[in-house]
Amino acid sequence: MHFNILNKNDEIVMSLVHYFITEENYTPIVVRGVKDEIWLENLDGPYRIIRINSNYIHNDEQYKFDLFKTKKVVEQIKKKTLSLSMNTLNIFLNLGDNVHLDEEEKNISSMKFSDINEILKDKNIVKVFPNIKNKLIKDKEGIDLIVNVTNDINAKTVEDNKVFTKIFEPKKIIVTPILILLCVLVFISMYIWGNGSEDTFTLLMFGANFRVLVQEGEVWRLITSTFLHIGIIHLLVNMYSLYIIGRQLESLLGKFKFLIVYLGSGLLGSLLSVVVHSTISAGASGAIFGLLGSLLYFGYHYRLYLGNVLRTQVIPVIIVNLLIGFMLPGIDNFAHIGGLVGGYLLTMALGVPGKSKKSDQINGSIVFILLVAFLCYMLFGYLR
């Protein structure tokens, strides 16, 4: 005797969940207070949110209320993920005959299906997800379906967890302390072999940024200036910032990528600074702003996990410090802006594990190179 432990809707739900998770890289979202609904997200997908609803809805009033609830949940997800818009697909499996799908909220598309074949024949869903024709499980039922779906989703989860663990597990921090030590040693050396960190001649001797000298060929000043600091307060503020931000980002990016972002951001910050200003400048703040730009790009791609950090810490720190830089004299805000942009672009070029596309990395590399080339033209051509 044959018993099917799943009803028809359950089988459709399991097939759809299996497809979206294993083939389209969606992940489940826990939404409180819902029953007989599954919410999936992929912030890089054609639909950022997919909701599969097997609740019975028997009239238009219930359908309108359901849309209202969906909109409220989507608004919460938008806030959490710092998204301006969130294209959502509502899949209904148990709609009454009197329900009309003409009523839709902005950015929320609704579709109804009663069996697997309807899904495979639907032109709209096949256009968005062309693989669904070949990859959607349609020849399994009951225990066979449960076993296939469970095994495949578990395998995908294990694979994703490996990437996630590799990124977020604690690591030994080496590069950040070395950078801090170098800055401190250079600062002390300026008092041993020079006249102190606030003396103009000593600053130039140790490699401060200065347009005339850079134009004469001393381009190394674009990097050496990021290890110099003018006064003990300048040093302490920057080293504390580097200690806090650097340790976090080095753990996320890895030592090699972190060093590239730090030095590349410092270079771009120094370039923009020397193009805009003809005065002496020094400090690690351009490179540190580059770390903030990097954290901004990285956090955006993992904003389901780091969305609160971006919203409450990273973005406010960037805005406040840029505002202070524009209001107070003596702060090289253009170095900050150059570093911020450099860190963002370099992280795009290097890629975020498990998230970045090759096209994004190519675009990040090209834009960074073009920006450096333009600033070099301004410095060595237009301004000479």
pLDDT in tens, 197-225: 999 999 999 999 999 999 999 999 999 99
Residues 121 and 204 in one domain: no
pTM, two decimal places: 0.79
- DSSP strand pairing (49-53 vs 88-92): parallel
Query: What is the rounded CA–CA span in Å between residue 19 and residue 135?
Result: 7
- DSSP strand pairing (27-29 vs 49-53): unpaired
Cα–Cα distances (Å) from 363 to 291, 296, 355, in that order, read 19, 17, 15
Q: Clarify whether 336 is annotated catalytic.
A: yes
Q: What DSSP character marks residue 226?
A: G
Of 148, 168, 188, which residue constitutes the final position of a domain? Answer: 168
Residues 140 and 58 in one domain: yes
Pick the catalytic residue: 241, 265, 285, 356? 285
12 and 116 Cβ atoms separated by less than 8 Å: yes
Q: What is the mean pLDDT of the chain?
A: 86
Residues 228 and 312 in one domain: yes
| Phi-psi region at 144: left, alpha or beta (left = phi > 0; alpha = psi -120 to 50) | alpha
How many domains are there within the chain?
A: 2
Whether residue 266 is contained in a domain is answered as yes
Residues 101 and 209 in one domain: no
**pLDDT exceeds cutoff 80 at 144:** no
**pLDDT exceeds cutoff 70 at 160:** no
Residues β-bridged to residue 288:
none
Residues 202 and 333 in one domain: yes
Q: Clarify whether 285 is annotated catalytic.
A: yes
Residues 252 and 372 in one domain: yes
Residues 196 and 137 in one domain: no
Terminal-residue alpha carbon distance, the chain = 91
pLDDT reported for residue 2: 45
Whether residue 326 is contained in a domain is answered as yes
Take residue 48 and report the two structure tokens written for it.
């950022």
State the alpha helices, DSSP H only, in the chain: 8-22, 60-81, 116-121, 123-128, 132-135, 142-168, 175-192, 200-205, 211-215, 221-224, 232-253, 255-276, 285-301, 303-309, 315-327, 333-350, 358-377
Secondary structure class of 108 (helix, strand, coil)? strand
Pick the catalytic residue: 110, 251, 336, 356? 336
Residues 27 and 68 in one domain: yes
Whether residue 223 is contained in a domain is answered as yes
Of 106, 141, 168, which residue constitutes the final position of a domain? Answer: 168
pLDDT tens sequence across 35-65: 778 888 887 888 999 999 888 888 888 888 8
User: Residue 343 is part of which domain span?
Assistant: 175-382
317 and 293 Cβ atoms separated by less than 8 Å: no
Residues 100 and 207 in one domain: no
Quote the percentage of the chain above a pLDDT of 90. Answer: 45
Residues 143 and 214 in one domain: no
* Long-range contacts of 35-44, Cβ-Cβ distance < 8 Å, separation of 24 or more: 38/13, 39/73, 41/77, 41/304, 43/81, 43/83, 43/301, 43/303, 43/304, 44/355, 44/357
Whether residue 27 is contained in a domain is answered as yes
131 and 23 Cβ atoms separated by less than 8 Å: yes
Of 168, 201, 218, which residue constitutes the final position of a domain? Answer: 168
- Give the CATH number, domain containing residue 240: 1.20.1540.10
Whether residue 261 is contained in a domain is answered as yes
Residues 163 and 182 in one domain: no
Whether residue 213 is contained in a domain is answered as yes
- Rg of the chain taking only CA atoms, in angstroms: 27
Q: Which of 126, 167, 100 is nearest to 302 (CA)?
A: 167
**pLDDT exceeds cutoff 90 at 84:** no
